[in-house]
Amino acid sequence: MKRIQIIDSHTGGEPTRVVISGGPDLGGGTVAAQLEVFRRQHDAFRSAVVNEPRGSDVLVGALLVEPADKSCVAGVIFFNNVGCLGMCGHGTIGLVVTLAHLGRIRPGAHRIESCVGVVTATLHADGSVSVENVPGWRQAKAATVDVPGLGKISGDVAWSGNWFYLVGEHPWALDLKNVEQLTDVSWRIRQAVNAQGFPEVDHVELFGPAQSPGGHSRNFVLCPGKAYDRSPCGTGTSAKIACLAADGKLREGETWVQESILGSRFTGTYRRDGEKIIATIIGTAFVNSEATLLLDEKDPFCWGIR
List residues with catalytic annotation.
88, 233
Minimum Å gap between C-beta 25 and ligand PYC is 26
46 binds ligand PYC (CB under 6 A): no
Residue 159: Cβ within 10 Å count: 23
Name the burial class of residue 82, with classes exposed (0-12), middle (13-18) and buried (19+) by CB atoms within 10 angstroms of its CB. middle
Buried b (16+ CB within 10 A) or exposed e, 11-41: bbbbbbbbbbebbbebeeeebbebbebbeee
Q: Residue from 235, 258, 264, 284 that binds ligand PYC (CB under 6 A)? A: 235
User: For ligand PYC, which is the closer residue by CB, 84 or 193?
Assistant: 84
60 binds ligand PYC (CB under 6 A): yes
Minimum Å gap between C-beta 63 and ligand PYC is 15
3-state class of 261 per DSSP?
coil
Q: Residue from 10, 46, 54, 90 that binds ligand PYC (CB under 6 A)? A: 90
233 binds ligand PYC (CB under 6 A): yes
Q: Which residues contact 256 (CB under 8 A, 6 or more apart)?
A: 216, 217, 237, 240, 241, 244, 250, 267, 268, 269
User: For ligand PYC, which is the closer residue by CB, 100 or 116?
Assistant: 116
Q: Residue from 61, 75, 89, 135 that binds ligand PYC (CB under 6 A)? A: 89
Minimum Å gap between C-beta 97 and ligand PYC is 14
Pair 134, 87: CB distance under 8 Å: yes
223 binds ligand PYC (CB under 6 A): yes
86 binds ligand PYC (CB under 6 A): no
115 binds ligand PYC (CB under 6 A): no
204 binds ligand PYC (CB under 6 A): no
Minimum Å gap between C-beta 70 and ligand PYC is 25
Amino acid making up residue 12: G
Residues written for the chain: 306
Query: 254 to each of 223, 241, 280, how far by Cα in Å?
Result: 27, 10, 11
Residues that bind ligand PYC (CB under 6 A): 14, 60, 85, 88-90, 223, 229, 231, 233-235
